[in-house]
């Protein structure tokens, strides 16, 4: 497979450069971080996680309180009242979700390093605009050095999240993920050692002896490619 072309317009290039500088600054800061700074950052992140969890629990509780009782008394409650309660519950959920995003994005208590995205208790790094394309093994090594691994996609929600990020960069429709059959030809395994269909019913297209690494494309499709090919990638780790 030939090296993938990377062409961006001036505006996206400026955005990518800014993200690159932010990433380099974050790495420099990490090298200068003292034990006290690290402890403070861990404490701040713990507080953020506790707050986020509390917000979600409260949101769920409000929904149950507002909506569940009505299920047992539908015969005594008008449809309009049910809709009003449901709308109130939805508004509370939106407000709580906004609070959660605010906590997650606060620079003082950020759940993920600069340049990483937080989603469902995990941090994700997408190399597009931040790093030059790399071979599969080089991408995996980058993730390892950042206490993460190439993405292991475990359900449709995670697949949709990654696809959504990819759609923001339509000129880069390929993305290395943590899937390979290097140990045994035709036996595709995720980075964590599980079979490709352990989490989802997925298959790898274009499988061949010389194509031992998988990339993710639009529509949630996976394609076999030469591990020597260059492309963007996605890392993931727990927040």
For residue 155, what is the DSSP state? Answer: S
Look-up of token digits 């909506």 = 67
In this predicted structure, the answer to whether residue 28 has a pLDDT above a threshold of 70 is no
Average pLDDT, integer, range 10-14 = 43
The pLDDT tens digits for 86-112 are 888 888 877 776 776 666 556 656 789
**How far apart are the two ends of the chain, measured CA to CA in Å?**
34
* Distance between CA atoms of residues 237 and 239, nearest Å: 6
| This prediction's pTM | 0.60
- Whether the CB-CB separation of 117 and 126 falls below 8 Å is answered with yes
pLDDT above 80 (res 160)? yes
Q: Is the model's pLDDT at 221 over the cut of 90?
A: yes
Residue 63 is predicted with a pLDDT of 57
Beta strands 175-180 and 189-190: pairing type? Answer: antiparallel
Looking at per-residue pLDDT, the higher value among 27 and 194 belongs to 194
- Select the more confidently predicted residue: 226 or 44: 226
Whole-number Å distance between alpha carbons of 208 and 186: 8
Average pLDDT, whole number, for the chain?
A: 77
How confident is residue 239, by pLDDT bands cut at 50, 70 and 90? Answer: confident
pLDDT at 75: 56
Query: Regarding predicted confidence, which is higher, 105 or 217?
Result: 217
Return the bridge partners of 223, or none.
205, 215
Q: Give the residue-averaged pLDDT of 25-38.
A: 42
> For position 88, what pLDDT does the model report?
84
Contacting residues for 11 by C-beta, under 8 A, at least 6 apart: none
Give residue 7's pLDDT.
39
- The answer to whether 234 and 176 are in contact (CB under 8 A) is yes
Question: For residue 70, is pLDDT > 50?
Answer: no
Output 116-121 pairs: Cβ under 8 A, ≥24 positions apart.
Answer: 117/165, 118/239, 119/158, 119/161, 120/157, 120/158, 120/161, 121/238, 121/239
For the stretch 169-210, pLDDT in tens is 877 789 999 999 999 999 999 999 999 999 999 999 999 999
The encoded tokens of residue 222 equal 């996976």
Q: How many CA atoms lie within 13 A of 181 on its CB side?
A: 24
Q: What is the pLDDT of residue 54?
A: 60
The CATH code belonging to domain 120-238 is: 3.10.100.10
**Counting every residue, how long is the chain?**
239
Q: Quick count: other Cβ atoms within 10 Å of Cβ 54?
A: 14
Q: What percent of the chain has pLDDT over 90?
A: 49
Q: Residue 27 above 70 pLDDT?
A: no
Residues in a beta bridge with 118: 123
Q: How does pLDDT run across 137-149, given as a tens digit for each residue?
A: 999 999 999 999 9
Q: Is the pLDDT of residue 129 over 60?
A: yes
């Amino acid at each position: 497979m030939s090296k993938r072309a990377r062409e961006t317009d001036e505006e996206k290039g400026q955005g990518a450069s800014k993200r690159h500088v932010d990433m380099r600054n974050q790495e420099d800061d990490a090298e200068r971080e003292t034990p006290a700074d690290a402890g403070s950052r861990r404490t701040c992140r713990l507080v953020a996680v506790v707050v986020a969890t509390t917000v979600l629990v409260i949101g769920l509780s409000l929904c149950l309180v507002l909506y569940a009782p009505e299920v047992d008394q539908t015969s005594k409650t008008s449809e309009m009242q049910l809709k009003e309660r449901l709308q109130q519950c939805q508004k509370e959920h939106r407000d709580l979700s906004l609070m959660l995003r605010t906590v997650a994005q606060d620079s003082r208590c950020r759940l993920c390093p600069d340049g990483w995205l937080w989603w469902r208790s995990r941090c994700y790094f997408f190399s597009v605009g931040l790093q030059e394309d790399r071979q599969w093994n080089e991408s995996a090594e980058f993730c390892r050095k950042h206490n993460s691994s190439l993405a292991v996609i475990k359900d449709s929600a995670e697949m949709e999240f990654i696809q959504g990020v990819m759609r923001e960069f339509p000129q880069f429709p390929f993305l290395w993920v943590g899937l390979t059959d290097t140990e045994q030809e035709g036996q595709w395994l995720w980075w964590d050692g599980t079979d490709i269909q352990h989490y989802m019913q997925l298959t790898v297209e274009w499988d061949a002896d010389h194509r031992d690494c998988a990339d993710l494309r639009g529509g949630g499709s996976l394609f076999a490619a030469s591990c020597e090919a260059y492309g963007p990638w996605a890392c993931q780790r727990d927040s």
